[in-house]
Amino acid sequence: FRHRKTSDAAVAEHEAKDGEQSHEWDRPIEFVFSLISNSVGLGNVWRFPFLAAQNGGGAFLIPYFILYFLIGAPLYYLELALGQFSSRGPAKAFMLAKGWQGVGFAMIINAVFTMLYYNVVISWALFYFILSFRKRLLWADCGYWWNTCACFVP
Question: Is 120 marked as a binding-site residue?
Answer: no
Question: Is 44 marked as a binding-site residue?
Answer: yes
Using alpha carbons, select from 38, 17, 19 the residue that is nearest to residue 83.
Answer: 38
Contact yes or no for 74/150 (Cβ under 8 A):
no
Helix ranges restricted to H, the chain: 8-18, 28-39, 42-54, 58-67, 73-86, 90-93, 101-131
Contact yes or no for 123/112 (Cβ under 8 A):
no
φ/ψ (deg, to 5) at 32: -65, -45
Distance CA 110, CA 104 (A): 10
Annotated binding site for Na(+): 40, 44
Q: Which residues participate in the annotated binding site?
A: 40, 44
